[in-house]
C-alpha cells in the first residue's frame, strides 16, 4: 500500500525507502501504466525478470500477485503473465493513480479524474460543514497557514494542501468518501507541476486564498458557501492541469 503523500514528496526528488518487493511492484506497475509494457503483451519469463530486477523468485511472484490484485496483470497457464485491459485496472488504487503521473498527458483521463473528484468530494465538503468539530477547524487553519508559509517549496505546499483535504474528509465522517484522497493527490501533483493557465506561485496563492475562505465557511457551517468555494477550487486545479 502506498502511503498518502508519497507522490507529492517525490516531486522534490525525495523517494521513500523501498524494499525489494515494493521496488519490483513500482517498476513493473509504472511500466504498464506508462505503456512501456503494452496492454495485451506478455511479460518476460520469471528468469529474465529475476535477473532484470535482481530479486528472488519469491519476491517476484509476490509482486506479480500484488499487481494482479490491482487488475494490471493476469497470470495464465502455458501463456505467462499478460498485461490486462485498462477496463480491469483498479483506478481508485492510490498506487495505480500515482503511476499515471509519469504517463503521457491524457485529457480524457484527466477529465475522468476531475469528474470523479467533483462527484465524490462535493458531498464530502458539504458533510464537513455540517459535522466538523473545533479541533478539525483548528487543524484546517493550521494547514492553511502551512500552505501560506511554504514559499517556493512545492513539496511543503502540496503536503499541507493534501493534509487539509484529509481533515475535510475526516470531518465528513464518511470513510468511503475518504477514498477520494488518492484522486486528489494525483490532480494536485499534476497541478503543481504544470505551468499552463498561470505561473506556479500565482496558482499556489490563489489556492491558499480559496482554502482560507473554504475553512471559514466550514467553521460557520455554511453549506452553500462551502459548496461554492469548493467548486472554485476544483475549477482552479482543472485549469492548471489542462
Domain locations in the chain?
A: 6-88, 105-241
Dihedral angle sign, alpha carbons of residues 189, 194, 195, 197: negative
169: closest CA among 156, 179, 161?
A: 179
**CA–CA gap between residue 169 and residue 119 (Å, rounded):** 14
- Which grid cell sits at 239? 485549469
**CA–CA gap between residue 11 and residue 13 (Å, rounded):** 5
pLDDT, tens digit only, all 242 positions of the chain: 567 788 998 887 655 546 888 999 999 999 999 999 999 999 999 999 999 999 999 999 999 999 999 999 999 888 899 999 999 999 999 999 999 999 998 999 999 999 998 888 999 999 999 999 999 999 999 999 999 999 889 899 999 999 999 999 999 998 888 888 899 999 999 988 875 444 578 889 999 999 999 999 999 999 999 999 999 998 888 888 87
**CA–CA gap between residue 217 and residue 225 (Å, rounded):** 6
Structurally, at CATH architecture level, domain 6-88 sits in: Orthogonal Bundle (1.10)
| Burial track 45-80 (b if 16+ CB lie within 10 A, e otherwise) | eeeebbeebebeeebbbbbbebbeebbbbeeeeeee
φ, ψ for residue 13, nearest 5 deg: 85, 5
CATH code of 105-241, in short, is: 1.20.120.530
Indicate the pTM of the whole model.
0.86
| Burial track 171-190 (b if 16+ CB lie within 10 A, e otherwise) | bbebeebbebbbbbbbbbbb
Contacts of 126 (CB under 8 A, 6+ apart): 223, 226, 227
Amino acid at each position: 500500500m502506498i502511503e498518502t503523500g508519497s507522490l507529492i514528496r517525490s516531486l522534490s526528488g525525495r523517494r521513500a525507502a523501498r524494499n525489494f518487493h515494493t521496488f519490483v511492484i513500482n517498476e513493473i506497475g509504472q511500466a504498464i501504466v506508462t505503456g512501456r509494457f503494452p496492454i495485451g503483451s506478455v511479460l518476460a519469463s520469471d528468469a529474465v525478470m529475476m535477473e532484470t530486477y535482481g530479486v528472488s523468485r519469491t519476491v517476484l511472484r509476490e509482486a506479480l500477485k500484488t499487481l494482479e490484485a490491482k487488475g494490471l496483470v493476469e497470470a495464465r497457464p502455458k501463456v505467462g503473465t499478460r498485461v490486462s485491459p485498462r477496463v480491469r485496472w483498479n483506478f481508485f488504487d492510490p498506487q495505480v493513480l500515482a503511476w499515471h503521473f509519469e504517463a503521457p498527458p491524457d485529457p480524457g483521463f484527466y477529465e475522468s479524474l476531475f469528474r470523479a473528484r467533483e462527484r465524490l468530494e462535493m458531498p464530502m465538503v458539504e458533510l464537513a460543514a455540517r459535522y466538523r468539530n473545533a479541533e478539525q477547524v483548528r487543524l484546517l487553519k493550521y494547514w492553511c497557514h502551512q500552505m501560506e508559509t511554504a514559499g517556493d517549496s512545492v513539496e511543503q505546499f502540496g503536503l499541507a494542501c493534501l493534509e487539509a483535504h484529509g481533515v475535510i474528509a475526516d470531518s465528513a465522517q464518511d470513510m468511503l468518501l475518504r477514498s477520494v484522497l488518492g484522486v486528489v493527490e494525483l490532480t494536485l501533483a499534476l497541478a503543481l507541476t504544470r505551468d499552463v493557465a498561470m505561473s506556479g506561485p500565482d496558482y499556489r496563492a490563489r489556492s491558499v486564498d480559496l482554502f482560507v475562505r473554504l475553512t471559514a465557511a466550514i467553521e460557520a457551517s455554511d453549506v452553500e458557501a462551502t459548496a461554492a468555494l469548493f467548486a472554485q477550487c476544483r475549477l482552479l486545479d482543472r485549469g492548471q492541469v489542462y
